[in-house]
A and B are shown apart, each in its own frame.
Chain A
Amino acid sequence: MGGRKLQIALYWGAGCGGCDVAVLDTNEFILDVAALADIRLWPIAVDGKYRDVEEMADGELDLTLFNGAVRNSENEHIARLLRRKSRLLVAFGSCAHMGGIPGLANLATKEEIYDRAYLHNPSIEPGNTTVPLAQTSVNGYSLELPRFYQRVFKLDDVVDVDYYLPGCPPAADQVRAVLEVIVSGVLPPKGSVVGAGDRGLCDECTRTKAEKKIKEFRRPWQIMADPEACLLEQGILCAGPATRSGCGARCPTSSIPCRGCYGPMPGVVDQGAKLLSAVTSVIDSKDPDEIDAILAGLPDFTGYAYRFSLPASLLQRSVRS
């Protein structure tokens, strides 16, 4: 990178802000970043306007870390703008990578979401029918809001992405490792998943697997889980068997089942379908009625299986009309 300071931008689309906090969680390393780089845009931490970005030359930024999914026209507009201005664009965190938690909204239609959020919510005054509109006219002025899309998209549905850094949020040591690689200039092949492992999470998890079968699924709060044994083999739904390693198995290590935020493990196309196979393989029954009764212990399997990856799955969304 010569003597020139690295020019970087960080941006959030449809996300919760946790990814920005994950960058700050690199602690004093962030000061090294500040010494090595000019942060040209970072809405959560640094002053900077969209206009400043518009005025940059194409390719003027070395790197953009884009977190959040694409839910509305503003998310897409800025994604396209930053793509033009950046040599490298990284989909940072589960939402940019796969749609993330906001992607679960693809189980409902836009109309259902509006109805729930703005029209028939217990906290809304009866008769109040205000919904956000893309265009409104007030006292002769025309006001614009970003257009809310029919569904949620992942970042690479709208722009070309160079690298994917998974996690909700990405683990701080992984963020740091990736930034160091980028500063070094020795880059992995385009399209790589970086800052993660290339095995299944169960490989990284230290809990003991004993090929045990179960007669009942249980929620984590319903039992005192054995601290050593595999959670799934204790009947607790865990996404480890479908998920990529790299986080250090931080959830099962803390007695919390994995929810799959690092995305499908290498070779897996659809994380939810893979989890479905793995989870049903621990059921101890050959009787269809008993199997149904055992499966009733998984009240929202679809939501769990695609917790972070619905827009990146084969079906992407509910097709209910």
Chain B
Amino acid sequence: MNEDRPTVADLPTVADLPTVADDQTAARVDRPARRAPTGAAGSFQPRIVGFLCNWCSYAGADLAGTSRTPYAASVRVIRVMCSARIDPTFVLKALAEGADGVLICGCHPGDCHYSEGNYKTMRRYPLLKRMLADLGIEDARVRLEWVSASEGQRFADLVDDMTQRLRALGPSRIKTALATDHAER
């Protein structure tokens, strides 16, 4: 569905996090390529990192693609074998590196290919959301949804809905905030 699909290896490494020694920090944050792209009308186009499990949700997104269901071009999909593979670290890292939102999708409860994986996700997610709230990250930025292989339309609607909410919220401040901390010290 997404030709130049990024993989985990494409995510910037921790070494890319701004440090004081890096006087390029300000320049990097302003580099247009690292900015969320803007739509034709100049409206803010959020950048969402989507972690999708291979067996249900990725197949669901694929169905949206092969059925030519139109949906917002805002999600960059990273395929993982199971939603349980989505270490909370991945979510924090995506946010720290500038994602405006993170979408986590797995098989419906009871349907996980590894039978119990999505229950692990179900237990992690509420605590992760609490942690994100304590760190000042708005509710709409991180979302968990169960999407089956036959729910192509639902996936498309989900991405549209999340995109709309993120548009209303505006770009994430996290990456810029971390860079200016060092500059303004």
Residues of chain A whose beta carbon lies under 8 Å from any beta carbon of chain B: 76, 107, 149-151, 153, 157-158, 160, 269-270, 272-274, 276-277, 279-281, 283, 285-286, 288, 291-292, 295, 298, 301-303, 305, 313-321
Measured CB to CB, the closest approach of chain B to A289, in angstroms, equals 10
Measured CB to CB, the closest approach of chain B to A165, in angstroms, equals 21
A286 lies within 8 A of B122 (CB): yes
With A160-B21, A301-B127, A316-B181 already in contact, 15 other A-B pairs whose C-beta atoms are closer than 8 Å: A107-B134, A107-B135, A150-B181, A158-B20, A270-B88, A270-B89, A273-B91, A276-B131, A277-B88, A302-B135, A314-B17, A315-B96, A316-B96, A317-B135, A318-B134
Measured CB to CB, the closest approach of chain B to A321, in angstroms, equals 7
A276 lies within 8 A of B124 (CB): yes
B126 lies within 8 A of A319 (CB): no
| 19 A-B pairs whose Cβ atoms sit less than 8 Å apart in the complex | A107-B135, A157-B182, A270-B88, A270-B93, A273-B89, A274-B87, A276-B88, A276-B131, A302-B135, A314-B89, A314-B92, A314-B96, A315-B178, A317-B135, A317-B177, A317-B178, A318-B136, A319-B135, A319-B174
List, in ascending order, chain A residues with CB within 8 A of B120's CB: 280-281
B178 lies within 8 A of A316 (CB): yes
Q: Chain A: which residue is nearest B136 at the CB level?
A: A320
B87 lies within 8 A of A277 (CB): yes
Measured CB to CB, the closest approach of chain B to A178, in angstroms, equals 25
Among A76, A276, A279, A318, the residue within 8 A (CB) of B135 is: A318
List, in ascending order, chain A residues with CB within 8 A of B19's CB: 157
List, in ascending order, chain A residues with CB within 8 A of B137's CB: 315, 319
Q: Chain A: which residue is nearest B95 at the CB level?
A: A315
B6 proximal to A (CB < 8 A): no
List, in ascending order, chain B residues with CB within 8 A of A158's CB: 20, 185
A276 lies within 8 A of B127 (CB): yes
B119 proximal to A (CB < 8 A): yes
CA distance A317 to B179 in the complex (A): 12
B4 proximal to A (CB < 8 A): no
Contact with A along B90-112 (1 / 0, CB 8 A): 01110110000000000001000
A281 lies within 8 A of B95 (CB): no
A295 lies within 8 A of B89 (CB): no
Question: What's the dominant secondary structure at chain B's contact region?
Answer: helix
Among A151, A274, A295, the residue within 8 A (CB) of B127 is: A295
Measured CB to CB, the closest approach of chain B to A8, in angstroms, equals 25
CA distance A160 to B19 in the complex (A): 11
List, in ascending order, chain B residues with CB within 8 A of A298's CB: 127
Measured CB to CB, the closest approach of chain A to B34, in angstroms, equals 17
B14 proximal to A (CB < 8 A): yes
Please classify how large the interface on chain B is, using the bins under 10, 10 to 19, 20 to 34, 35 or more. Answer: 35 or more
B184 proximal to A (CB < 8 A): yes
Among B14, B87, B184, the residue within 8 A (CB) of A150 is: B184
A-B contact count (CB 8 A): 104
Measured CB to CB, the closest approach of chain A to B16, in angstroms, equals 12
CA distance A254 to B67 in the complex (A): 61
Q: Chain B: which residue is nearest A298 at the CB level?
A: B127
Q: Chain A: which residue is nearest B124 at the CB level?
A: A280
A273 lies within 8 A of B109 (CB): no
CA distance A137 to B20 in the complex (A): 32
B68 proximal to A (CB < 8 A): no
A295 lies within 8 A of B126 (CB): yes
Q: Chain A: which residue is nearest B185 at the CB level?
A: A149
Measured CB to CB, the closest approach of chain B to A260, in angstroms, equals 15
A280 lies within 8 A of B127 (CB): yes
Measured CB to CB, the closest approach of chain A to B112, in angstroms, equals 11
A153 lies within 8 A of B136 (CB): no
CA distance A107 to B135 in the complex (A): 6
Of residues 1 to 34 in B, which have CB atoms within 8 Å of A's CB atoms? Answer: 14, 17, 19-21
B174 lies within 8 A of A283 (CB): no
Complex A-B, nearest 8 residue pairs according to Cβ-Cβ distance, in ascending order: A320-B136, A302-B134, A318-B136, A273-B88, A280-B123, A314-B92, A273-B89, A319-B136
B128 proximal to A (CB < 8 A): yes
List, in ascending order, chain A residues with CB within 8 A of B131's CB: 272, 276, 301-302, 305
A291 lies within 8 A of B122 (CB): yes
List, in ascending order, chain A residues with CB within 8 A of B17's CB: 314
A319 lies within 8 A of B122 (CB): no
A269 lies within 8 A of B135 (CB): no
B165 proximal to A (CB < 8 A): no
Measured CB to CB, the closest approach of chain A to B85, in angstroms, equals 11
Measured CB to CB, the closest approach of chain A to B74, in angstroms, equals 21
Take A150-B181, A295-B130 as given contacts and tell me if A286 and B119 are in contact as well, using a CB distance cutoff of 8 Å.
Answer: yes
List, in ascending order, chain A residues with CB within 8 A of B123's CB: 280-281, 283, 285, 291
B96 lies within 8 A of A273 (CB): no
List, in ascending order, chain B residues with CB within 8 A of A149's CB: 185
